[in-house]
Structures are given as structure tokens and as C-alpha cells.
Structure 1
């Protein structure tokens, strides 16, 4: 087994890194470069980067989840920052890193987070309604479900979960939450059972996804990261972002293509004033191979988009 294959499988108990080989290729790793893994997790992608780096290379790894630190390799080339990647630029500056050769973010929830009942990410187990990626924050999934207004819940389920009856669901939660306990996953399932539509597993997964995205401010955090990428990349440096949700993918696509988050109809008669710092490398997103889909079903919704920093 090659170093690359060992890297891909080393962290498989914690998290199987998706689109591993595709991501390594996309970053076009230079042996003496500086690379940032915004989502260290099980360290699978990070190990792949380290395998390609020489002794002068450096890896900066971010992860706000305290559990991830246990996966750190003993390697003096690694600088670990136990923070959310929304603070990318701040912590690079703090460690005197001006610009880097590549930035990677794998936005999926780690297999470890899904498989730990106590974290509350999965519908498969009973456990607390938690879902915090950073367990230092106070608000949990239970807080949102108990405190949000009907309108806030409706918007959350519709936008982030694409739940078919999001309006009915929001009203039902508001009507029932004071009569029934709402601290655990099983209690939430009991509360929701009268309004579940279609396949119960799929429905619950959509509800959980919506609450998780809202609680962890995933879309806002992603936008903050993207806005910092042109400033932290060296000319010719690459950004590789793996998304698992259509809203995330659209945000990345628009930013790489337009330098912003709003889709605009370009008028050929008007001069375009917005300066774009990034060049799109992937016209279409890269998705998992048939072999990877068989090996890791969670890779089916993964999309990798890559952009390169234009020369100043």
C-alpha cells in the first residue's frame, strides 16, 4: 500500500476522507509549500498533504471540534489551531503566515460526529439534542427547537432541510413543545411523528440537517472563509472546497466564478467593474467515482470545486 493509500485509510475509523485523490491532485502540492486544512477532522486529507510535502513544507490545520486533536500526527511541520476556520486570516497572521500555497475545506460532518451518540448529530441513536461542532458554544439543537419562533423554524426547515411540509412542521413544534419534553433525539422523534411525510428516515435526516446548519452557522461561516481566500493565497495558489449540500455548492460556485455570492446577469453593454482574484479550475464540480461510492456511500453528495489565485 502506497503512502497515499495509507493516508486515505489511516483515519477511516474516525472519518473517511472523501474525494481524497482528486483533492490531492487539485491542490497541486509543492514540496516546500504552506497548506491549510480548514477541517482537520480525522486527518485523512492532512496526511495526504504531508506525504507530498518535503521537510521545508508546512501544514496549518484548523478544527473547532476538540475530539479532532486526538488525531494529530507527531510532525513538526504541523501547526494545529483549535478554532473555527472563519478565523483563518486572524490565526495565520498571529502565527506570522502571510500567504499560503493552498487551502482545503471538506465541509461534511465527520463520520465520527455522526457515529458518536452523545454528539446528537445522527437520527440512528438516542442521545442529547446537541449537534454543536464546537462544544464550547452554549446554544444547542434543543435550544433552537425550544426558543425559535414559528417563522424562524419554518424558514430554517425550508431553506436548509428542503422539508416538504416545513410550515406545518414549524407550527406543530411550536404547538407541542411546551406540552412534551424536548431534550433528546427520541423525544424529538415522538414529537414529530404525527407530521412526518414520506420516508421517515429521509424526513428526519432533512430536519436534523436544517437544525445542524442553523446551529453551527454553516452557511455564514462558509461565506466568511471564501471572502478571506483571495487575500491568503499566493498567486498561483489553489483553493479546494468540498460541499455536501446544494446551497453550499452554489455559494462556492458563485464566489469562485463571480467573486461574490449573488448571481448576476451580466449585461454585455455595461463594463464589469468587479475585480476577480480567482480563476475557476473546475468548470463542473468533481464528484466521487463509482469505486468510491461503493466503498463510502456518504460520498454520493460530495462536490469538489477548485479555484486558483490570479497573479497580482
Structure 2
């Protein structure tokens, strides 16, 4: 953890009304006069984490974090019966980011995200390139059907067969042709025990494959019902709708990022988001740089990941 800056606390925070009955929790830390940067958490639905502040030099950056609709401290939380997922889509989140940027009086900001956060970062930057100074992505994911099939319909099963059997367990055999759809139905079951068991199994699968070397701590964290139930509900809502993106849209439109410097930090053995996606994005994005880590998977703590992110962000702090 030497590659992280010391822990800091926010000096400003609030709740922003973004419409549709939603209020986003946001916070700002670091230098109030520093270079603006916004952190996009993963999931979708995982919520922001204090560790994310520590990627940034607090003397150089004005660090903005927020919880996306339905997640973390934003309201209504997805576990609330009042939460309307019909107004929780990729494009609602992109619009929310613009409202937050304007609310904070920021002209342009560096956009930082990993996994689902990388998807949202690309969707935002391709929609509002004039508002983005630089982009740093980790574990690149663009929500293409091929990527979703790899994770949730059998690709990664070839690497983790025991964990895959656990993932399949709640799903009736005659519904295993479309596991995302089957899990979505289980999460909508009227029986709370069925919903809980399905959410834990779905989330535990990602926890099992997230690190290059499986770690009990990740699986336990992802399997905790308090995390797994909202995480699975939002993520399945997004993924069964293809994240409201055309197949390959974010890579197809990467030319819109020309002129925006970017660094893609990718584990060579990332079983959640295989490196072919980062490579294809890099090839389509003029001016991007791909950093392929030979000993890392998807996890932020895998070998070399923290150091590569710090190098990228320290470099942009001087521009």
C-alpha cells in the first residue's frame, strides 16, 4: 500500500437533487484550488470507497467523489421500495455527472474509473469531451455482449470451474442458457430468501475471480448480503439492458476522445475484464497509452496496479 497517498477526509460534502426523486451524495477532498478530478465507482451499484481518494496527490488535486443513483449514500437506495430503477440508466448517470460538475463550478475535470466506472467514464467523455481534461481507466469494461458473456455466461468458467458450479447452483437447469436473465428473475422473486440467496451467489462469483490469485477476503466481502443484494440488483438491471449501449458503441466512438490524453491500466490476467477490451479501445483512441501489467488481474491491489495508477495520476497532476 506504499503506492497510496495518506488517508484524508472530505472538506466538503452534500446531497444534490438530480431529478426523478434522486439525490446524489457527493464529497470533495484534497486541495480546494487543485486540479479537478472525478472518481467513478464500479459495480454498477458498489458505491464509492475512501481508498479511492488515496490514488491522488492531495496537494495537487481537488478530488470529487459521488455515489451513483441507488448506491452508497445516495437516495433512494436500491434497497428502498421507493427506488425506481426505470430512471437509473447509463444516460441518467451521465446527466448526473454534468449536474454535479456545474454545481461544483468545475470547467473541466480528469475522469478516473475502473471496471463499470471505466464504462461510465467513456460514456461521459464521449458525450462531453470538452469537459474532460484527461482520463485514467483501470480494468477496462465497455459492457459489450461479448464481455458480459465472458463473465456471466461461461467464459471465465473455464478458469474457475469450482466457483462456477457455485454460481450455477441457484439457477434451475432449464434456465441456464441465459444466466443474466435467470438471475434477474431470481432477484425479482417475491420470496426474500430466494432473492438473498441469488444475490449472494451472483456477487460471490465476481469476488472469487476478481484477483489474479483468489483471496478469501474478496469473496467474503462480495458475499456479505448487505453488499450483495443491492449490488446484484443494480448490476443485473444494467446488464440485462446492455447498459443502454449499442454493441461496441464505446469503442466505435472512441475517436471522439482524440486530443484527450488517456492511460489504460490493465491486468494481463484479468478474468473479469480480459485485456482484449483495453487493447481494442487503445487502438481506437488516438493519444491513449496502454499499460499492461504482467502479474495482475482485476483487483486494485493486484501486483503493480496501485503503482501504475499513481504514476499516471502524478504525471497528469503536472499538466
Q: Structure 1 length normalisation: TM-score? A: 0.38
Q: Which has the higher strand share?
A: 2
